[in-house]
Amino acid sequence: MPPVEPIEQSAPSPVSNNWYLLSVRSKKRELFLKYLELAITQNKLEEIILEVKVPQDSVYEDIVLLNLSNFKTAYTYLHKVECFQNIERKPLQSAQVSRMLAGK
């Protein structure tokens, strides 16, 4: 009988494709990103805010995409970040995220 191999070979991060659309105050995205990075570091939010993406197309100049593991917990921190305006409560579909990041 062959040896049983563990299912998790490389311990991937939790499978989460929960991308949320976050809007910031007009022309303040770069400032928001600096404050967000600071908040993530200070509050150890790496397991809640999994990834941050910035669409390059100018249509999305006040938009940030966040991959969150827990919306409620993330929101308690996000709404305190300087220049935060709003975050959609429903995650985006993968196709929408891809379109926004492709810049088309």
Average pLDDT of 19-45? 97
Tell me, what's the pLDDT at 77? Answer: 97
Distance of CA 72 to the CA centre of its chain: 13
CA Rg value for the chain? 16
Q: Is residue 11 part of a domain?
A: no
Which structure tokens are listed for 57?
Answer: 């197309």
Dump the DSSP string for 16-66: ---EEEEEESTT-HHHHHHHHHHHHHHHT-TTTEEEEE---SGGGTTEEEE
At residue 49 the predicted structure's pLDDT band, cuts being 50, 70 and 90, is very high
Least confident interval from 35-39, 64-68, 92-96: 92-96
Q: Is residue 57 part of a domain?
A: yes
* Stated pTM of the model: 0.82
Q: Please, which residues have CB within 8 angstroms of residue 62's CB and are 6 or more apart in sequence? A: 23, 24, 25, 26, 27, 28, 29, 85
**CA terminus-to-terminus distance, the chain:** 53
Tell me, what's the pLDDT at 3? Answer: 55
Q: Is residue 75 part of a domain?
A: yes
At residue 13 the predicted structure's pLDDT band, cuts being 50, 70 and 90, is very low
Average pLDDT of 14-18? 64
Q: Is residue 4 part of a domain?
A: no
Q: Is residue 3 part of a domain?
A: no
In single-letter form, the type of residue at position 92 comes to L
Structural domain of 82: 19-102
Q: What's the mean pLDDT when you consider all of the chain?
A: 88
Residue 86 pLDDT greater than 60, yes or no: yes
Tell me, what's the pLDDT at 104? Answer: 52
* Domains: count for the chain: 1
Q: Residue 36: which CATH number?
A: 3.30.70.940
